[in-house]
Structure 1
Amino acid sequence: MNDILNISAYKFVPLPDATELRTQLQALTLDLGLKGTILLAEEGINLFLAAPAEAVRALVAHLHADARFADIVPKESWSAQQPFRKMLVKVKPEIIRMNHPTIRPAEGRAPAVPAATVKRWLDQGHDDEGRPVVTLDTRNDFEVDQGTFDNAIDWRISKFSEFPQAVLDHRAELAGKTVVSFCTGGIRCEKAAIFMQEAGLDHVYQLEGGILKYFEETGGAHYHGNCFVFDERRGVDADLSALKR
């Protein structure tokens, strides 16, 4: 019986009180019996949590009571077993490491495109202006190997901090095309799309909600394989269920 609720969410928002938040959330998550990871930084919050639904929803309600997190809408999936071994709440320099401190999504994100529009563009082979569409996988090579969009661009990076140099090395190949960047849940593309814009690419979008939202809204059309996730499930199918072992 799939009675463990798994959620993932993030938000880029200034958190000068990240250290105080860590203490508060550490106590609350332990009290609720949650397991997973919450990352806090001056730039925002990133979380992956799992527990029976009542406990998870209590944590989300607590976050929503803070005006800075009121609009967070977690992505949900279900599993028969707890996919995390422990609960960690950490303060880090970045919630997703890129090593480019001037890239600050909280000050204005790059354009996002919903899953249904991406599917339609891929169905027809071009965007609504007739421009060729390419999908760009911003994830690490081992994640891509488990599954990705058909004909996606994959630069075989081993960590996200390599992405900026890869953009500069391959920028000419993307010129004149509509580039849809994507990742698991959207957080990497918040920075990736901004960097590509600043590198001079004119038609760059991020897939809203990442692969997980795309699975939820389209059933995985134009995607082959599974989506790697950083917990003991190791991956989910297009129906957002854990892989069978």
Structure 2
Amino acid sequence: MAQYHTLLYYCYSPIENAEQFAADHLEFCKSLGLVGRIIVAEEGLNGTVSGTVEACKAYMDTIYADGRFNHTEFKIDEVEEPSFIKMHCRYKPEIVHSGLRDPKEIDPTKKTGKHLEPKEFMEMKDQEDVVILDVRSNYEHTVGRFKNAVTLDIENFREFPEKVKELEHLKGKKILTYCTGGIKCEKASALLLKEGFEEVYQLHGGIIKYGKEAGGKDFEGDCYVFDNRVTVPVNTVNPTVISTCRNCGTQTKKMINCANAKCNEHFTQCDECGWKFDGCCSTECQSVPNKREYDGTGYYVKVPQPVNVEKISKRKHKNFPPKNKMEAEA
């Protein structure tokens, strides 16, 4: 039996004085010995926390006992060790950055796409009049996505509203949206409905729940997650690897951070190139002084780094994931 659990969840439910709630919630999580990342906003909660089985159960019991969050659905993973190093609980304007903050325009508690359970999604996704729409960012769908899914060239979910214009030709189709855990689809599907798409659906519980309840069939590659694991396998039926090493082009699902802390770019790299480039994305980064020591994992404790304008510019190409992935959707 696993000693640790990792919980992925979200809940759209109004929170008064959300900033104070975030501060109090942080202390509560620390009292349980949890580590993770939680975003609190007036519209609700969005979090991934990790800790002992007992601590995670106590956390879930407390969330449900609050009353405001009774419809929260926790996706539970058994893990060998906690999936984070520290505990963060921060107040932000939205629980997922979309720019759709006016509840008079988009309110996930009132109108979203029809929720499909994993098995319903699996049965429906291959119908002729159906389009599967991935609403996640480039670095997420590069490492894993549903077979035949439509993907968007976006660095962050806040770019999604502008990309809806590119989907006009799909009106009249049944649109099946999906994301990691379901949270982005709540607003994405609501926006599609507002923009005149008539039949909009969303995968309830996202890719993670689909893997647990439908075996992950036809999800190609691995699922990107916002914790130390970086990616997790979800397909036990017909698994594949679709991502390639940035340096040599061979297939690999391993994602690492560049050992040059000032770069810190997150990218796919095979083990052979990892040792060849000493955990760096390029020979340029490999030659910098004070480079972090590469141990084969490519994971380093995050520390604030100066903004590198040149690197950000380079990353705008769709094949180059953005910097600091763990915070990209904050």
Q: What TM-score do you get using the length of structure 1 for normalisation?
A: 0.91
What secondary structure is seen at the aligned counterpart in 2 of 1:68? coil
For residue 112 of structure 2, what is the amino acid of its counterpart?
Answer: R
The match for 1:145 is: 142
Q: Distance in 1 between matches of 2:177 and 2:73?
A: 21
Name the structure 2 match of 1:177: 173
Q: State the aligned residue count.
A: 236
Alpha-carbon distance between aligned partners in 2 of 1:137 and 1:211, rounded to the nearest angstrom? 10
Identity of aligned residues (%): 34
AA partner of residue 218 (structure 1): A
Q: 2-side partners of 1:21 and 1:217: how far apart?
A: 33
Which structure's residues are more often helix, by fraction?
1
In 2, are the aligned partners of 1:115 and 1:208 still within 8 Å (CA)? yes
The residue aligned with 2:284 is: none
Of 182, 185, 188 in structure 1, the residue corresponding to residue 184 of structure 2 is 188
In angstroms, what is the RMSD of aligned CA positions?
1.7
What's the counterpart of residue 287 of structure 2?
A: none
Offset at 1:155?
A: 1.3
2:31 alignment partner, SS class = helix
* 3-state SS of paired residue (1:154): coil
Structure possessing the higher relative contact order (Cα contacts under 8 Å, 6 or more residues apart): 1
In 1, Cα distance between the equivalents of 2:227 and 2:174? 33
Separation in 1, partners of 2:178, 2:142: 15
Amino acid at match of 1:167: V
Deviations 1:184-206 (A, max 9, x none): 00000000000001111111111
Q: Conserved in 2, the CA contact under 8 Å of 1:182 and 1:211?
A: yes
- Going from structure 1 to structure 2, the CA distance change for 1:238 and 1:209 (only over 3 Å counts) comes to same
User: 1:61-210 maps to which residues of 2 (within 5 A)?
Assistant: 61-102=61-102, 103-122=106-125, 125-126=126-127, 132-172=129-169, 174-210=170-206
1:233 aligns with 2:229: yes
- Report the residue type matching 1:134 in the other structure: V
Cα separation, 1, equivalents of 2:221 and 2:168: 27
Flag structure 1 segments of 5+ consecutive residues without an equivalent.
Answer: none
Deviation at 1:69, TM superposition (A): 1.0
Secondary structure, in 3 states, of the residue corresponding to 2:109?
Answer: helix
Structure 2 residue matching 1:27: 3-state secondary structure = helix
- Answer whether contact 2:37 2:89 (CA < 8 A) is retained: yes
Residue identity opposite 2:78 in structure 1 = W
Q: Is the 8 A contact 2:22 2:40 kept in 1?
A: yes
1:169 partner letter: E
Give the match's secondary structure for 2:191: helix
Name the TM-score, length of structure 2 as normaliser. 0.69
Q: Is contact 1:41-1:93 (8 Å) kept? A: yes
Change (3 A) 1:239 1:53: farther
Asked if the contact 1:185/1:210 (under 8 Å) is kept, the reply is yes
Runs (4+) off by over 4 Å:
none
Note the C-alpha offset of 1:239.
6.2
Question: Mean Cα displacement is larger for which, 104-113 or 85-94?
Answer: 104-113
Contact in 1 for aligned 2:23/2:90 (Cα 8 Å) = no
Query: Which amino acid counterpart does residue 34 of structure 2 have in structure 1?
Result: L
Query: Residue 197 of structure 1 aligns to which amino acid in structure 2?
Result: L
Higher strand share: 1
Whole-Å separation in 1 of the counterparts to 2:221 and 2:55: 32
Q: Which runs of 5+ in 2 are unaligned?
A: 237-252, 255-296, 298-330
